[in-house]
Chains A and B, each alone.
Chain A
Amino acid sequence: MQRSVVVAIQDGLHARPAALFVAEAARQPAPVTIAKNGSGPASTRSILSVITLGIGAGDEVVLETPADDDSALASLDALEDFLHRVAVE
């Protein structure tokens, strides 16, 4: 299951927003990867992998999970919602 998301977070996935994103990912039942035009996919549960993708506001990213059930859907929904927020503090 995969989904494209345009990142709204003003500061991009750096520093604190990245830390909060990874913490959110760790709370999800399904493992999810994130990729940005050719870079990745990287585990959303690894802050180092997420930061090194260099994701900024307006970037399109692909969230993907190998699972194909309700837990996969819930995980993708939660992370998509996170990336759609403008401010994450």
Chain B
Amino acid sequence: MTSTTLVLRGVGVSPGRRAGVVARMPDPLPAPSTEPLPPGTDLAAAADRIGAAASVVHDALLAAASTARGEGAAVLAVTAEMAADPTLVDEARRRVVEQASTPQRAVWDAAAVVVDQLLALGGLFAERARDVDDVRDRVVATLTGAPMPGVPDPGEPFVLVARDLAPADTARLDPDLVLALVTEGGGPTSHTAILARALGIPAVVAVAGAGTLRDGDTVLVDGALGSVTPDPDEDAVARAGRTVRRAARLGAPGATADGMPVALLANVADPAGAAAAAAAGAEGVGLLRTEFRFLGRTVAPGVDEQVDAYRQVLAAFPGRKVVVRTLDAGADKPLPFVTAPDEPNPALGVRGLRTAWDHPQVLDDQLAAIARAAAVEDADVWVMAPMVATAEEARDFVERCAAHGLAQAGVMVEVPSAALRARDLLVHARFASIGTNDLTQYAMAADRELARLARLSTSWQPAVLDLVAATCAGGALRGRPVGVCGEAAADPALAPVLVGLGVSSLSMTPRALPDVAAVLATVTADRCRELADAALAADGAEAARDTVRAMLPVLEDLGL
């Protein structure tokens, strides 16, 4: 690259090179002034402006919902109804009429009342608080003529630059319009990063200088190297344009160049995801998250309902492996019937398998449902527990599974203690599946959502790779397979390293399957071990990654 402009550095979280024009996500609106309306203002007329603005926002969101897909459509439909909600509008009107608040300040304060109520309810209700904030900002922007918050729509494909993205924003990204994603905040395992990979949008997060980019700037984004180049030269833009459109489907089972099989599986969260994973050619499901039947409930779903839900997933993979993870509640997924609302540090609290200590019936019902679904479908059903820390927990879980006739019972390795003592856990557990996101979070003591810690929150950290190696050593000692089902498996440069460390299956977002398969097909099992040794020999995450990437020129050819 011959460009003389300063290249911005961040953390590449979704590979691919794209050049395009910047459209910035507007910064959050400041709180409107508390200065009341001047005496003599027609308060009734001022109050009427609120209803009018709310219905403008309602109509715009409904129109957007009708063209959006999946999760995005659901989020938009909810926010649209919130904009029309009489509770919010009436409270805001009252503040104008009785307190002479400006309409924008009245909306701001009325929304705060609702947000406080939702936050007090906790759990899923608290998540809706973000939607209320979003509606508030849109109504306030309509009233004041400020730029409309949310993902911009310049009318042509663009590079989205944002301070940070809320889950509701990311749910609305259209992969046909967003060429690449650049954020100042976020980390490699943040929800933004996970979604970008799922959509196949190149993304760089934690870019310190992203604030200097302006609407209309042309940039080249490299989601593998983590670089953002303003005013790229024509050669670089042409190279980015030439990058082969990557395959969207896995054509053949995963294997190294010399034919060692590496099962390439999909992470799936609901029946629709299972169908999509099967369509993408996944060899099976390496992680079925079962929270979809539990989230948004005040009591656990019944056994019959669960059987029905699991059967829908299993039916998509006849004769294939489906690894079902039992309920992983707690931390960022609180559920009122198993988790406590008042833990000072939920990531280190009663979460995952630990919730079964006080609520064993929820786990027993789930295992009964999985066993019944497995009995009537043709999939090869494996079961694993999240957040296992000790051999004793592994033994208890395997015994419980056996009581329900589920023989293939294993553990997730997310806690460093489980990795270090895998040889003990795998006496009982039939297999281990490493959840690299949480394993990294716990090994590095770094909250995965904190952008300031992005450099720590990567599975390229040699300490994390040591833990993967320890888990694989335990698996080899006991003759048990070890897989990876965290985001690390979807990194086409890291995947061969994991295989070299002894991992025999990789489970990831379906979008990443063809990229990982393409890279694996170019390296032998021996070369994978050399890559693993090189990564372990590095003294830092960046050194490990740079060394491995330099040894894998195929990444450049594939535009990864």
Q: How far is the CA of A79 from the CA of B462 in the complex (A)?
A: 58
Contacts of B297 in A (CB 8 A): 12, 56-57
Q: How far is the CA of A18 from the CA of B82 in the complex (A)?
A: 11
The contact of A16 among B77, B84, B117, B301, by CB within 8 Å, is B77
A67 in the interface (beta carbon within 8 A): no
Q: How far is the CA of A23 from the CA of B86 in the complex (A)?
A: 13
Shortest Cβ gap from A51 to chain B (Å)? 6
Shortest Cβ gap from A46 to chain B (Å)? 5
A48 and B88 contact, CB distance less than 8 A: yes
* B193-232 Cβ-contact flags toward A at 8 Å (1 or 0): 0000000000000000000000000000000000000000
Given contacts A15-B74, A16-B74, A57-B305, contact A47 B118 (CB under 8 A): no
Shortest Cβ gap from B84 to chain A (Å)? 7
Find the A residue at minimum CB distance from B86. A46
A30 in the interface (beta carbon within 8 A): no
Given contacts A16-B77, A16-B78, A18-B78, contact A52 B124 (CB under 8 A): no
B125 and A19 contact, CB distance less than 8 A: no
Among B74, B75, B118, the most chain A Cβ lie within 10 Å of the Cβ of B74
Shortest Cβ gap from B485 to chain A (Å)? 25
A49 in the interface (beta carbon within 8 A): yes
B82 and A47 contact, CB distance less than 8 A: yes
Shortest Cβ gap from A13 to chain B (Å)? 9
The contact of A19 among B78, B118, B121, B305, by CB within 8 Å, is B78
B87 and A48 contact, CB distance less than 8 A: yes
Q: How far is the CA of A57 from the CA of B308 in the complex (A)?
A: 14
Give the contact-size bracket for chain B.
20 to 34
* A31-72 Cβ-contact flags toward B at 8 Å (1 or 0): 000000000000101111101101011100000000000000
A47 and B81 contact, CB distance less than 8 A: yes
* B interface majority secondary structure: helix
A14 in the interface (beta carbon within 8 A): yes
A15 and B86 contact, CB distance less than 8 A: no
Find the A residue at minimum CB distance from B300. A56
Given contacts A15-B74, A19-B77, A51-B125, contact A56 B298 (CB under 8 A): yes
B88 and A54 contact, CB distance less than 8 A: no
B80 and A19 contact, CB distance less than 8 A: yes
The contact of B121 among A16, A46, A52, A57, by CB within 8 Å, is A52
Contacts of B81 in A (CB 8 A): 18-19, 22-23, 47
Find the B residue at minimum CB distance from A54. B298
Shortest Cβ gap from B559 to chain A (Å)? 36
Given contacts A48-B88, A51-B128, contact A57 B301 (CB under 8 A): yes
B299 in the interface (beta carbon within 8 A): yes
A47 and B301 contact, CB distance less than 8 A: no
A48 and B77 contact, CB distance less than 8 A: no
Shortest Cβ gap from B430 to chain A (Å)? 32
A14 and B124 contact, CB distance less than 8 A: yes
Shortest Cβ gap from A14 to chain B (Å)? 4
A5 in the interface (beta carbon within 8 A): no
Find the A residue at minimum CB distance from B301. A57
Given contacts A15-B296, A19-B80, A56-B299, contact A48 B305 (CB under 8 A): no
Q: How far is the CA of A42 from the CA of B124 in the complex (A)?
A: 19
Known A14-B124, A26-B84, A43-B86; 16 more pairs at CB < 8 Å: A11-B296, A15-B78, A18-B81, A19-B80, A22-B81, A22-B85, A47-B81, A47-B85, A48-B82, A48-B118, A48-B132, A52-B118, A54-B121, A56-B296, A56-B298, A56-B299
Ranked 7 nearest A-B pairs via Cβ:
A16-B74, A14-B296, A47-B81, A19-B77, A19-B81, A19-B78, A46-B87
